[in-house]
Amino acid sequence: MTEMLEIDGSIGEGGGQIVRTSLTLSALTGTPIIIRNIRAGRNPPGLKPQHTTAAKAVRSICRGTLEGAEVGSTTLGYTPGKIYGGKYEFNIGTAGSVILLAQTILPILFSASKPSKIEILGGTDVPKAPTYDYFERVFVPALSLFGLKLKCTLDKAGYFPRGGGRITLEVNPGTAQPVSYWPRESHLRAVIALTGLPVGIAMREKKILLTNNIEEVYIRERKALDPGNSLLLYRGLVGASVLGKKGLRAEEVSRVAIASLEEEGDVDVDHLLADQLLIYAALAGKTSFKTSRVSKHTETNMHNIEKFLGKHFSADGSMIKVD
């Protein structure tokens, strides 16, 4: 049996990503893990509902034994079994991000022996997580460059505080292939999503985009339990998402998105996507991409992945490479 790997959940950025990445790679490599000091520097520390749901989702797909998967727990143990593709439903029960949960289980499902269909309930457009539109229009196309096939559908939007959104994933098994060419686009597109709010908010956001020569703008009115607004501005694999909120004028939502995208500059992938693609780059090997900056979150993720896969990342400025 593979020796148990101990993970310090407080190192580096010290957030939930350490838990999610460790669970994913434990399942993929068959490595038993114990994670201690989970989110030690956060208030409150320990697992939140989205983390416990992710842990239980991994166990459902990969079987094995799971200990400590309770809200508030600062220690989590997992010994993986065999991966089983198929039909699953996971309900976070709060506005915790369905996208982060999806990104936890997708590498595992790609390694299954048969296709899978997954439904996830929770928040689709929430703070500190990719929005659904970013996931569909930036992240999924990036996976296709690795040769991985995924279809996603938004059944219902979910905002803070109640969540209640639902997405469906259809995953075909596949092995990540090295990527040597990242297509770049200069054409800007925008998606404005709105629920339970006056459509005039979306029109004000659109007006700012139009005055900045961003003409391909789509407005999507969606159903959800709570009112919400999100804006995605993107060009190819470089995107910026902004959530509307009380006190932030509609015009400012667009201006923040424009400024954020400009900050990314001349790159293959934006700095958030760079982080999200690390597992796939490591699994594929011989892959590199230029991003705008290497965050502490990304550095922590690279360090954690190296422990499991024996691959080596290097970051020369904003160029990330894996052997």
Contact indicator for 318, 293 with CB cutoff of 8 Å:
yes
Residue 170, CB-side half-sphere exposure with 13 Å CA sphere: 4
Q: How far apart are CA 11 and CA 15, in angstroms?
A: 9
Q: How far apart are CA 91 and CA 89, in angstroms?
A: 7
The packing angle between helices 16-29 and 296-309, to 10°, is 20
Residues 6+ apart with CB under 8 A from 310: none
**Given the residues 51, 187, 271, 297, the one annotated as active site:** 297
Q: How far apart are CA 140 and CA 162, in angstroms?
A: 26
Whether 303 is catalytic: no
Q: DSSP E strands: which ranges in 209-255? A: 216-221, 228-235, 238-243
Whether the link from the prior residue into 161 is cis, omega within 30° of 0, is: yes
In terms of Cβ atoms closer than 10 Å to its own Cβ (0-12, 13-18, 19+), residue 245 is exposed
Structural Rg of the chain based on CA atoms: 19
In terms of Cβ atoms closer than 10 Å to its own Cβ (0-12, 13-18, 19+), residue 321 is middle
Q: In the beta sheet, which residues pair with residue 142?
A: none
Q: How far apart are CA 46 and CA 37, in angstroms?
A: 8
Whether the link from the prior residue into 44 is cis, omega within 30° of 0, is: yes
CA distances for 29 relative to 17, 120, 276, angstroms: 18, 24, 19
User: What are the catalytic residues?
Assistant: 297
